[in-house]
């Protein structure tokens, strides 16, 4: 390899590492494998594809170190070691996936692909403390051996960064070791690696604390071992005099474990009860377990003074996870407290292997939980003669019912499989969900129906004009999204119902009508609505408010109530009984020129000269004049034909009539000015009143105008239709 690539210390270290790896990999890798790897790495260095990272760490030194640790701690197979050594080269495109497949096989390519995929997670800058990150890591790995490589690699890098000048880098790496890799190592049964990761993490993040504890544990390893030996020796003599088959071992707890005890107990190192721990494991049948454990307990407490307050009896009352053991703290030699754990071989297996062993002993079938899966892997790791190749077939799809996705800032969200982009928006925040219009997934535009895949980076696009609609309930699958959509729809419905009620009440008030709720209910049903809610919502954009009022009045008319059009003037004409009809007043011919009667022009249809008309005799004897095509008149003719009477215009002019026009157009203040200006310029035409409502850029206006006859009315309508922005003009009943 190139001498210029390594500094002097690295050159010596790399040579030593290569030699050590070759020795450790005997029987694992062939000479051809070693030669081929040497050439590939050498070529990668010469081609400039193996750069130091931004923190100055040499990738060759790092990968060699990881490969050695794998061979020492995991009994790694050939493909794991090769994948570690060529991963960086593939990631930097010095070697292609096709070349890896041809030279080393499909399984090696699978491992390299898993390592590359996991490395992509770190570009998301997600918080490794998140449980979701743990799960996504396992999902991305595809192969349990990838997780093992990542754990061991983290141990290697932790050993390399002591006194590294970049404190933030050291802190970040240490945090990952503590929150991610140490728990994974523990769940996989890699207790030695787990303890070292925790100790190194404490050393780098709280060096003063670490140094203080280490100083107080100043005894040499030999001295500590001697203490444990001195403690155990008399116990062995006493236990040997019984029928018990046992194994006894002792240890000093790790610095991180001691620190956790100090924090929990608010104590100094000297005050920690279980600085030293002894474990007695008894090999005995199930029926004799309790008796034999208590026998060992009596032997220990006869020999050493026990702190009864520290007795923990998890044999009589096992923990919920199946853990069983007797814990006692005794006063040992040199006035030191020592914790003694007494358990059977079965109890120890359950304690070490968790639920998997518990199921085995209790005859309970596994339900495929993460703990069961992890314990099965741990069984493989702890089985000395089981080849690592058996782990190739381990199913890594343990979270196939979940997907994990990132925000652009690296926040990680967990959702059920099948969740859509809209579900993700609501997972971020309810307001984000309610205003979601779509999103960008890995930089590409996607609709709200897009189904999320694990590892996606999703940017949600929103609009203040967007609101949920009922169809969204068919798109989302999460309860949170469904509940928020329903809540928003209910709020919209309540708001629209309120607006509809306000609009109707305003119309009735303009017409000076007091609303009778029973008649209004009948009118709503007559209009074809089963619920008042649907009616009020449609009132905003589907129904003509005037038609609703007329329907209401048509129900009320037989009670002889007056029909009143919107904003129309009430024109009542009194005809006196005389022999001749005065030319200046008589504009109607009623029946056979009947004279001397009272009549009124009906407010519901506002008849004017030129309209075909019919009279209706009301209870007070007055004649109400309706347009013949008036819906109310047609209804009255069906029910009270005997009270209807012919009527016609006499042709006499000089009297103006009130007519209501309904105008629809673009919502522009200028359009109103143009319409009113046009009306004011017309001879024999006057504007009586105007009311306008606008919604979504469209206005609906009601104009009450005074005209002489239908001819002048039709001419005026034609002219109004020519005004820019006017969409429709109609005479309103």
Query: pLDDT tens digits for 668-699?
Result: 767 888 888 888 888 778 888 887 777 777 87
85 and 198 co-located in one domain: yes
Comparison of pLDDT for 453 and 276, the residue scoring more: 453
Whether the pLDDT of residue 138 is over 70: the answer is no
Q: Domain containing 355 — which CATH number?
A: 3.30.460.10
For residue 626, the surrounding DSSP H or E stretch is strand 623-627
Query: pLDDT tens digits for 197-231?
Result: 999 999 999 999 898 888 877 665 677 778 888 99
Please give the average per-residue pLDDT across 480-488, as a whole number. Answer: 89
Mean pLDDT (the chain) is 80
Place 2 in a pLDDT band, splitting at 50, 70 and 90: low
65 and 145 co-located in one domain: yes
Boundaries of domain holding 40: 3-205
Q: Domain containing 142 — which CATH number?
A: 1.10.3210.10
Whether the pLDDT of residue 254 is over 60: the answer is yes
**Domain boundary at 333, 362, 391, which?**
362
Place 292 in a pLDDT band, splitting at 50, 70 and 90: very high
Please give the average per-residue pLDDT across 419-425, as a whole number. Answer: 94
Query: Is this prediction's pTM over 0.95?
Result: no
Please tell me the predicted confidence (pLDDT) of residue 621: 67
341-345, 516-520, 695-699: range with lowest mean pLDDT? 695-699
234 and 198 co-located in one domain: no
Whether the pLDDT of residue 345 is over 60: the answer is yes
Asked, for residue 598, whether it belongs to a domain, the answer is no
Q: Of 555, 554, 527, give the one whose Cα is nearest residue 539.
A: 527
241 and 170 co-located in one domain: no
Q: Domain containing 458 — which CATH number?
A: 3.10.20.30
Place 360 in a pLDDT band, splitting at 50, 70 and 90: very low
Find out whether 566 and 507 touch, Cβ atoms under 8 Å: yes
The number of C-alpha atoms within 13 Å of 419 and in the hemisphere containing its C-beta is 28
263 and 175 co-located in one domain: no
Please tell me the predicted confidence (pLDDT) of residue 554: 78
Residue showing tokens 């991180």: 256
Strands (E), 291-435: 305-306, 312-313, 326-332, 336-344, 402-406, 412-416
* Cα gap 448→468, rounded to integer Å: 12
* Domains in the chain, number: 4
Comparison of pLDDT for 707 and 377, the residue scoring more: 707
- The alpha helices in 92-143, defined as continuous H runs, are 97-104, 106-122, 131-141
330-344, 623-637, 683-697: range with lowest mean pLDDT? 683-697
Please tell me the predicted confidence (pLDDT) of residue 372: 55
334 and 462 co-located in one domain: no
Phi and psi based region of residue 48 (left: phi greater than 0; alpha: psi -120 to 50; beta: remaining): left
Find out whether 429 and 402 touch, Cβ atoms under 8 Å: no
């Amino acid at each position: 390899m190139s001498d210029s690539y390594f500094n002097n210390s690295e050159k010596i270290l790399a040579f030593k590492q290569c030699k050590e790896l070759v020795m450790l990999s005997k029987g694992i890798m062939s000479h051809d494998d070693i030669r081929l790897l040497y050439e590939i790495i050498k070529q990668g260095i010469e081609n400039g594809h193996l750069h130091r990272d931004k923190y100055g760490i040499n990738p060759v030194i790092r990968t060699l170190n990881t490969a050695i640790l794998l061979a020492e701690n995991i009994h790694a197979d050939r493909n794991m070691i090769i994948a570690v050594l060529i991963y960086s080269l593939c990631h930097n495109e010095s070697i292609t996936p096709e070349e890896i497949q041809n030279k080393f096989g499909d399984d090696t390519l699978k491992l390299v692909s898993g390592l590359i995929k996991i490395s992509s997670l770190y570009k998301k800058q997600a918080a490794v403390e998140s449980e979701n990150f743990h799960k996504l890591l396992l999902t991305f790995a595809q192969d349990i051996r990838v997780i093992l490589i990542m754990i061991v690699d983290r141990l290697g890098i932790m050993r390399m960064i002591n006194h590294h000048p970049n404190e933030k880098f050291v802190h970040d790496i240490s945090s990952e070791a503590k929150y991610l890799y140490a728990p994974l190592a523990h769940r996989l049964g890699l207790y030695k690696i787990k303890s070292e990761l925790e100790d190194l993490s404490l050393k780098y993040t709280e060096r003063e604390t670490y140094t203080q504890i280490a100083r107080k544990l100043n005894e040499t390893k030999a001295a500590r071992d001697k203490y444990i030996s001195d403690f155990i020796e008399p116990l062995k003599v006493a236990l040997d005099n019984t029928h018990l088959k046992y194994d006894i071992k002792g240890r000093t707890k790790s610095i991180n474990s001691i620190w956790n005890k100090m924090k929990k107990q608010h104590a100094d190192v000297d005050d920690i009860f279980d600085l030293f721990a002894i474990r007695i494991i008894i090999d005995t049948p199930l029926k004799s377990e309790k008796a034999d454990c208590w026998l060992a307990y009596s032997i220990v407490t006869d020999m050493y003074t026990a702190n009864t307050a520290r007795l923990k009896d998890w044999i009589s009352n096992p923990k919920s996870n199946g853990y069983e053991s007797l814990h006692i703290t005794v006063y040992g030699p040199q006035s030191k407290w020592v914790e003694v754990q007494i358990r059977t071989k079965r109890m120890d297996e359950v304690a070490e292997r968790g639920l998997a062993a518990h199921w085995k002993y209790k005859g309970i079938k596994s339900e495929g939980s993460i703990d069961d899966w992890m314990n099965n892997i741990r069984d493989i790791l702890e089985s000395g003669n089981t080849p690592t190749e058996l782990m190739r077939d381990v199913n890594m799809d343990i979270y196939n019912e979940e997907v994990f996705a990132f925000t652009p800032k690296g926040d990680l969200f967990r959702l059920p499989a099948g969740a859509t982009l809209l579900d993700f928006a609501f997972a971020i925040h309810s307001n984000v969900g309610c205003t979601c219009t779509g999103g960008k997934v890995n930089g590409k535009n996607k609709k709200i129906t897009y189904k999320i895949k694990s590892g996606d980076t999703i940017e949600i696009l929103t609009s203040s004009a967007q609101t949920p609609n009922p169809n969204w309930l068919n798109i989302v699958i999460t309860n949170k999204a469904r509940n928020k959509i329903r809540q928003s729809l209910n709020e919209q419905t309540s708001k629209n119902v309120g607006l509809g009620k306000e609009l109707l009440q305003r119309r009735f008030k303009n017409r000076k009508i007091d609303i009778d709720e029973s008649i209004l209910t009948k009118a709503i049903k007559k209009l074809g609505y089963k619920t008042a809610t649907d009616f009020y919502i449609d009132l905003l954009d589907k129904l003509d408010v005037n038609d609703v009022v007329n329907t209401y009045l048509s129900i009320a008319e037989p009670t002889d109530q007056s029909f009143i059009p919107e904003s129309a003037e009430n024109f009542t004409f009194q005809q006196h009984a005389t022999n001749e009809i005065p030319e200046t007043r008589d504009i109607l011919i009623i029946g056979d020129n009947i004279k001397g009667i009272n009549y009124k022009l009906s407010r519901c249809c506002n008849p004017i000269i030129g309209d075909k008309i019919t009279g209706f005799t009301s209870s007070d004897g007055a004649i109400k004049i309706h347009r013949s095509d008036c819906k109310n008149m047609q209804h009255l003719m069906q029910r009270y034909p005997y009270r209807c009477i012919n009527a016609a215009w006499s042709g006499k002019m000089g009297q103006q009539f009130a007519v209501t026009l309904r105008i629809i157009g673009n919502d522009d203040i200028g359009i109103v000015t143009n319409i009113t200006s046009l009306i004011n310029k017309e001879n024999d035409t006057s504007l009586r009143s105007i009311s306008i409502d606008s919604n979504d850029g469209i206005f609906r206006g009601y104009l009450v105008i005074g005209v002489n006859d239908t001819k002048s009315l039709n001419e005026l309508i034609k002219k109004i239709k020519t005004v820019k922005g006017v969409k429709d003009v109609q005479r309103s009943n």
